[in-house]
Amino acid sequence: MKPDTDPAALAASVDQPAMLAQVQAWSAVNTGTANLGGLATFSAMLAEAFGALPGELEYIDPAPVTSVNGAGQEVEQGFGRHIVLRVRPEAERRLLLTGHMDTVFPSDHPFQQQRWIDEETLNGPGLADMKGGIAVILHALTAFEQSPQAHRLGYDVLLNSDEETGSLSSAPLIERLARGKYAALTYEPSALPDGTLAHARGGSGNYSLIITGRSAHAGRNPQDGRNAIVAAAALTLGLKRLESTDCPVNPARIDGGAANNVVPDHAVLRFNIRPKSPAAAEAFEAGLAALIGEVQQAHEVHIHRHGGVTRPPKPVDRRAQKLFDLVRNCGAQLGQTIGWQPSGGVCDGNNIAACGIPVVDTMGVRGGAIHSPDEYLIVPSLAERAALSALVLQSLALGDPL
């Protein structure tokens, strides 16, 4: 019998053993962001799995992205292709569901295997972040498509290849897909192992400042040199003066220098900021521009800036709060207690919210210790979260307003 609006029937339609088998097979494929071969293998597995859903599946090439190497040169980065599934594009109400294929563990990382911690807890790379989340998307949609309400709702599914490094090559695609959507769900793991959702988020920006000075002999004519390392140090101290409670600043690395008897003519300063609001990000940008001008004048060097805020702050407005409330209410119908709290982390939900689309971005599995060899998945949460998403989709299809 097809599940109807009965939450219990919807939950019973979710096949947890199948979910677990898929997640274990997916975790066995290394998909570090730079492992393009592993990502290609995984994307083929996903194309086959998501091919069971209606709609059209497409591979999208990554947008061009550059980074700054230790020599201060901008070099092009390589990323895997992204996957987009479009279902019922003609529907009046359409959603965006997003997940990411990549993990933080490169192909040479020692953490490649799975092990059972106890009968409900599985340790392994990417199980929670976020191959478990991708399984939740697939099986929630599979259950929803059996519902009599499915024809009322259209959706796009985006699985990108570069979320763990900031979604730089997929950001234009996220923006394009978010445009015109009624709401969005992103499948990062829950903020806490009990299923707590991440609520408001701060933003994130990564910068590189390339400093070009003038070399000279450190003993014979140091006055003719313009020391790029000293200028980088002045920038570092200046960045900390720009820091505020609304915009923490983390100077992370200085590359460059020369032999001890040479005034160094080159340095690269890398840093990260975490603005808590758009206003804080704007204030930092103004301060940075002034600081660069001051250091260039005082140290007679040239400074080239690369990067900026790539994850805008994500406040929770009225419509977004109504989506959180809907998720909580659907959880209650399934016997799940859903709460939320602010988060200092960032994800694709930041990019989606910046497009004015209400989003809940921790709809994935329960687990913990992500980005470490202790990462774990709480296995029963596979079916729990798939049922939760299926019920949310069904509620939105029935017309629950945001």
| Residues 97 and 168 reside in one and the same domain | yes
Cα(391)–Cα(394) distance, rounded to whole angstroms? 5
Q: Is residue 2 part of a domain?
A: no
Structural domain count of the chain: 2
Whether the bond into 130 is cis, omega within 30 of 0: yes
Q: Is residue 327 part of a domain?
A: yes
Handedness of CA 321, 324, 329, 335 (dihedral sign): negative
| Residues 334 and 286 reside in one and the same domain | no
Residue where a domain terminates, one of 267, 295, 311? 311
* 40 exposure class (CB count in 10 Å sphere: 0-12, 13-18, 19+): middle
Q: Is residue 375 part of a domain?
A: yes
Element (H, E) at 203: none
Element (H, E) at 263: strand 262-263
| Residues 323 and 306 reside in one and the same domain | no
| Residues 248 and 285 reside in one and the same domain | yes
| Residues 195 and 214 reside in one and the same domain | no
| Residues 94 and 197 reside in one and the same domain | yes
Q: Is residue 385 part of a domain?
A: yes
Q: Is residue 1 part of a domain?
A: no
Q: Is residue 352 part of a domain?
A: yes
The CATH number given to whatever domain includes residue 261 is 3.30.70.360
Cα(12)–Cα(329) distance, rounded to whole angstroms? 19
Range of the domain at 115: 7-202+314-397
pLDDT mean for each 10 residues of the chain (402 residues): 67 95 98 98 98 97 96 95 98 97 98 98 98 98 95 97 98 98 98 97 98 98 98 98 97 96 98 96 98 98 97 96 98 97 96 98 98 98 98 93 86
Q: Is residue 402 part of a domain?
A: no
Looking at residue 233, its pLDDT comes to 98
Looking at residue 4, its pLDDT comes to 53
Considering only CA atoms, which of 135, 133, 138, 130 is closest in space to residue 53? 138
| Residues 142 and 268 reside in one and the same domain | no
| Residues 253 and 116 reside in one and the same domain | no
| Residues 147 and 116 reside in one and the same domain | yes
The CATH number given to whatever domain includes residue 376 is 3.40.630.10
Bridge partners, 135 (sequence order): none
